[in-house]
Chain A
């Protein structure tokens, strides 16, 4: 089955700097890759997703890139702000199967 590895497990950056979180997946049939942000005591919230027919997608300060050949995808957050501090999860699924397989999460801390 699908296996998703996420790195780093913790990341600390200065406010205003960029943060990058990377994930790799094992199943070449996976074609949907969402990213979720989870704040303390809350459920995960989708922040951006990408499908295998595109290589990059951007939404304001957040971007995701996908390299299908290498089977990895990354989350990029620019101009980080204190409210970006949270745990971020990547996930992968095969369209039609819909069962998301999650990475282990990255605890991002933005230092003021």
Chain B
């Protein structure tokens, strides 16, 4: 596709359940990012993948959060044992490399934990 694709666009889950959010970056983009945006707030960095390098996980808020990027393309963000404070929009972004190229965002996955 032409842009960063995320699914699902909306997810409602019960507290304590696990959720998986998927991101398909722009073709040819080697860098992939996950950000979290709580209602009315700014964007909080979660994790960054660049090629085959070890990911920068410095923004993950707890060990309930993890992410994978298989084959250097699609990424999955997993939240285990969801809590109500996990409710937010999870935004994925990609760029060509880590050399200051433009970062493009997807439309986000809106997660509501009830």
Contact (Cβ within 8 A) A46 B98: no
Which residues of B sit under 8 angstroms from A45, Cβ to Cβ? 105
Apart from A100-B103, A104-B42, 13 more pairs, CB < 8 Å: A6-B42, A43-B4, A46-B104, A49-B102, A95-B99, A98-B31, A98-B48, A98-B98, A99-B45, A99-B56, A100-B45, A101-B45, A102-B43
26 A-B contacts (beta carbon < 8 Å): A32-B100, A34-B102, A36-B105, A43-B4, A43-B91, A44-B43, A44-B105, A45-B105, A46-B102, A46-B104, A89-B42, A91-B43, A96-B98, A96-B99, A96-B100, A97-B98, A98-B48, A98-B50, A98-B95, A98-B98, A98-B100, A99-B45, A99-B48, A100-B33, A100-B103, A102-B42
Interface residues of A, CB < 8 Å — how many?
27
